[in-house]
């Protein structure tokens, strides 16, 4: 999606260690109009899947997932990383390694909002190693739901997430696919 | 706002200890169309203030703040509760007691996205004791910005937040103002 690629090229910062900082429009400050365009584009690409719910992980997944859910007119659930007092004792919980935090994080969903038979569309900000998205897939499967598609704003193809998700045989869409981040230069391409 | 009050009346759960669970449409599962209506209503009420940025706190503030920002066509910044690796060493940081967590939490904003001279509209999910919103006000003031208005989806008038914010002399808008939550019954009213 050209609008997102242009914005990454203009405002993204390569911090080293494979980290792309997009804090000025995705992760700390959010550009709501860009996010609306991204949500509309996800809705268009996934319109035919018959999804019944959008699932994401707090915190950075919330904005793109919410904007996708608006355009699909579906509820969105965000997996929590700490269990709030409002959640029942019995939950779906899985562990996923966090690249930016350098440790395992919990992903928790209440059975109240992930019922058997749902068709789940997973939306997140990044597809890097795929670890967070695989965690969300495990949560959906634990509930007896079926994941029908996976979308990420930004894919770092060279970190292997698409390969790690291949066995799921699901449509995977990223709106900006980065094939290389060498020498301070961001190169976009098509997933292969 | 009748749509929100009706939804709280139908789907909200009183858990005791003053906690109102709205996890099915605000805090864990989000109803995007309701959130869009709420954002539109905040935008209408605050339209004349000339705000230049919307500020909220992760996690639950993100959805209502984002939807307000879309309708006002403004960027939104969410204060982080842990400092991500992408944030510079020098930050604005304040502490605020969390009612639902039973401890102090940090609220952190990067100086990159809160510049001097901004006119800040604060939006959050709840106005209870006002502690989180006062924390956001301190962050805005530390940056040399000026808060021009405060909005919350749900106000629990009996927890004193409105009184705690009174000295700021700012417009405070809540879309559903709860005056009592006794005996399992939620009563709405007008702030006094």
Is the CB of residue A8 less than 8 Å from the CB of residue A154?
yes
Q: Do B28 and A80 touch (CB under 8 A)?
A: yes
Q: Do A80 and B113 touch (CB under 8 A)?
A: no
Interface check for A3 against chain B (CB to CB < 8 A): the answer is no
Taking 50 as the pLDDT cut, the residues of chain B under it are none
Nearest to residue A59, comparing CAs of B91, B58, B31, B130?
Answer: B58
The partner residue sitting opposite A113, judged by closest CB among B24, B32, B62, is: B24
Is the CB of residue B39 less than 8 Å from the CB of residue B67?
yes
pLDDT score at B98: 84
pTM above 0.95, yes or no: yes
Q: Lowest mean pLDDT: which of A34-43, A50-59, B96-105? A: B96-105
Q: Biggest alpha carbon distance in chain B?
A: 49
Residues in chain A: 192
Q: Tell me the chain A residues in contact with residue B32 when contact means C-beta distances shorter than 8 Å.
A: 66, 69-70, 73-76
Interface mutation vs chain A, best among B11, B29, B81, B143, most A CBs within 10 Å: B29
The partner residue sitting opposite B32, judged by closest CB among A28, A30, A70, is: A70
- Residues 164-183 on B with a CB inside 8 Å of A are none
pLDDT tens track for A133-149: 999 999 999 999 999 99
The partner residue sitting opposite B29, judged by closest CB among A21, A63, A77, is: A77
The partner residue sitting opposite A110, judged by closest CB among B28, B62, B78, is: B28
The two three-digit tokens of residue B160, written as one number: 């004193």
pLDDT score at B83: 92
pLDDT tens track for A57-89: 999 999 999 999 999 999 999 999 999 999 999
- Residues 110-139 on B with a CB inside 8 Å of A are 110, 112-113
pLDDT score at B101: 75
Phi and psi based region of residue A160 (left: phi greater than 0; alpha: psi -120 to 50; beta: remaining): left
pLDDT score at B183: 85
Residue A99 has pLDDT above 90, yes or no: no
Query: At B34, which helix (H) or strand (E)?
Result: helix B32-46
pLDDT band at A22 (very low <50, low <70, confident <90, very high): very high
Q: Is the ipTM of this complex over 0.90?
A: yes
Interface check for A47 against chain B (CB to CB < 8 A): the answer is no
Interface check for A58 against chain B (CB to CB < 8 A): the answer is yes
pLDDT score at A109: 98
pLDDT tens track for A111-169: 999 999 999 999 999 999 999 999 999 999 999 999 999 999 999 999 999 999 999 99
Residue in chain A closest to B24 (alpha carbons) equals A113
The partner residue sitting opposite A30, judged by closest CB among B36, B76, B109, is: B76
Report whether the peptide linkage leading into residue A66 is cis, meaning its omega lies within 30 degrees of zero. Answer: no
Say how far apart CA B166 and CA B149 lie, in whole Å. 12
pLDDT band at A192 (very low <50, low <70, confident <90, very high): confident
Is the CB of residue A54 less than 8 Å from the CB of residue A64?
no
Residue A17 has pLDDT above 90, yes or no: no
Q: Do B30 and A66 touch (CB under 8 A)?
A: yes
């Amino acid at each position: 999606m050209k609008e997102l690629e242009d914005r990454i090229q203009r405002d993204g910062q390569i911090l080293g260690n494979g980290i792309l900082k997009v804090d000025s429009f995705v992760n700390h400050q959010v550009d709501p109009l860009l996010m609306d365009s991204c949500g509309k584009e996800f809705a268009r690409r996934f319109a035919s899947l018959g999804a019944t719910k959008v699932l994401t992980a707090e915190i950075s997944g919330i904005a793109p997932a919410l904007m996708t859910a608006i355009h699909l007119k579906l509820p969105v659930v965000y997996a929590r990383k700490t269990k709030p007092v409002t959640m029942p004792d019995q939950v779906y919980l899985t562990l996923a390694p966090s690249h930016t935090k350098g440790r395992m994080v919990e992903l928790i969903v209440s059975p109240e909002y992930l019922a058997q038979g749902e068709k789940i569309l997973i939306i997140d900000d990044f597809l890097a190693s795929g670890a967070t998205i695989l965690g969300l897939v495990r949560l959906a499967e634990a509930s007896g739901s079926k994941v029908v598609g996976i979308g990420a704003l930004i894919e770092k193809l060279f970190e292997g997430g698409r390969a790690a998700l291949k066995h799921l045989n699901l449509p995977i869409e990223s709106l900006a696919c980065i094939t290389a981040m060498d020498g301070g230069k961001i190169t976009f391409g098509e997933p292969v």
